[in-house]
Amino acid sequence: MPEPMTPVSFPPAFLWGAATSAYQIEGAVREDGRTPSIWDTFSHTPGKTAGGEHGDIAVDHYHRYRDDVALMADLGLGAYRFSISWSRVQPTGRGPAVQRGLDFYRRLVDELLAKGIKPAVTLYHWDLPQELEDAGGWPERDTAYRFAEYAQIVGEALGDRVEQWITLNEPWCSAFLGYGSGVHAPGRTEPVATLRASHHLNLAHGLGATALRSVMPARNTVALSLNSSTVRPVSQDPADLAAARKIDDLANGIYHGPILHGAYPATLLTATEQLTDWSYVLDGDLAAINQPLDALGLNYYTPALVSATDAEQAGPRADGHGASEHSPWPAADDVLFHQTPGERTAMGWSIDPTGLHELIMRYTREAPGLPLYITENGAAYDDKPDSEGRVHDPERIAYLHGHLAAVRRAIADGADVRGYYLWSLLDNFEWAYGYEKRFGAVYVDYATLTRTPKSSAHWYAKAARTGTLPEVDEVF
């Protein structure tokens, strides 16, 4: 379907933001009482990240946050989504809080508010305190209770000044990449642990939401961010449709089933019955998980294309989630992932804004009346400064234009999308890819840590200021 005619204008209250996460930008990993998280351990384990890179310094946001907030204000951002490092706040993952750790976030939030930028806090963006992983990690039920305790601590400390709260970022990645394919921390490759971790992340979300609400003013909102996939079958053949159903259950239904509807999809339970009987779902868990949400965050980058396969074709998957001899997808050896068509970003992910429109409309149907935010969307490119030090990134501008136009089209089609957070404000540590993949609207010179807004940052700033998308070829 063609995109709407230009100019593409958004409702006046639409929130224009940018997002980051703690381990990807903060650095200062040994300061003010912080202890290692699973990402410190994983990135310092030989062979786990490109070039052995890690977040020890990252882009030094811990020390440069004032400048970074000033940069956001210059760009006219209305909102900033960032995550809290659990290991800074509760270094062992349990027990009393470290005030020096919380103070950093108090200062950051105050700086944002002083500049008129709305903070949106994500409690968990993949960086579990190492001590909790040593005790079993997300496959263990106790981790969900530890998360609720941590949520309460942060809610008490920041609930007076932060209105937008997100419990978890992309629990699929924590479970399936952390415990399935092992390309993310903690690097385990255990199919059953992947499903157990998923359930305990769901439980953590539910218990965390309840804990937050018990200590925060009622005006605050609680959401979570899912990297829900748009899963497409290669054909309408029943076997391919069944393959798409299975991956959709494992990518999406495993989270939105219990969270939005209070039940795991029956098709998921059947598809995984050879592996697990789900006996770790205890009485009362589904009710604890199925808390009312104030909003849902959707993170979108690219769709997935699948078909049925036979055992000979099965093997490492071209599913865009990193190379591993272990599939992230439990009980899915009968599914083949295909290259999606179209141009690609530096991640090798195909560019397809129709997938974002489809996703928004799906959740508009799945959860009628629930406000939606695009809590991440963006693209990595091989950006380089020119001879005058400017960084031109027309591909990213085209990517943002296409995806924002798809959001606008969804709003016109009846979706209640309230805002958009560009991933990412700054170039940063892209997990197992190290610093090689640049997602930032702002270029970071890793030798000097100097920040230079790319042309896409200026393009986005104009969109944020005017509420209308500039043309893709406007010169900045």
Catalytic center residues: 170, 376
Provide, rounded to whole angstroms, the least separation between the CB of residue 304 and ligand IFM: 15
Give me 147's structure tokens: 């998360």
Q: Which is nearer to ligand IFM, 382 or 471 (CB)?
A: 382
Told to check if 170 binds ligand IFM by CB under 6 A, we report yes
Q: Which of 127, 133, 352, 376 binds ligand IFM (CB under 6 A)?
A: 376
- Beta-bridged to residue 373, according to DSSP, are 297, 419
Told to check if 399 binds ligand IFM by CB under 6 A, we report no
- Among positions 261-300, residues that touch ligand IFM (CB under 6 A) are 299
Question: What's the chain's Rg over C-alpha atoms?
Answer: 21
Q: Which of 111, 352, 427, 430 binds ligand IFM (CB under 6 A)?
A: 430
User: Cα–Cα distances in Å, from 182 out to 229, 323, 476?
Assistant: 20, 10, 41
Told to check if 319 binds ligand IFM by CB under 6 A, we report no
Provide, rounded to whole angstroms, the least separation between the CB of residue 433 and ligand IFM: 8
Q: Which of 14, 172, 423, 460 binds ligand IFM (CB under 6 A)?
A: 423
**Under 8 Å between Cβ of 35 and 92:** yes
Q: Which is nearer to ligand IFM, 79 or 286 (CB)?
A: 79
Distance in angstroms (rounded) separating the CA atoms of residues 183 and 186: 8
Residues 439-458, mask of contacts with ligand IFM (x by CB under 6 A): x-------------------
Q: Which is nearer to ligand IFM, 16 or 423 (CB)?
A: 423
- Among positions 17-76, residues that touch ligand IFM (CB under 6 A) are 21, 24
Told to check if 174 binds ligand IFM by CB under 6 A, we report no
Provide, rounded to whole angstroms, the least separation between the CB of residue 42 and ligand IFM: 14
Provide, rounded to whole angstroms, the least separation between the CB of residue 299 and ligand IFM: 5
Q: How many CB atoms lie within 10 A of CB 295?
A: 22
Contact residues for ligand IFM, defined by CB under 6 A = 21, 24, 170, 299, 376, 423, 430, 439
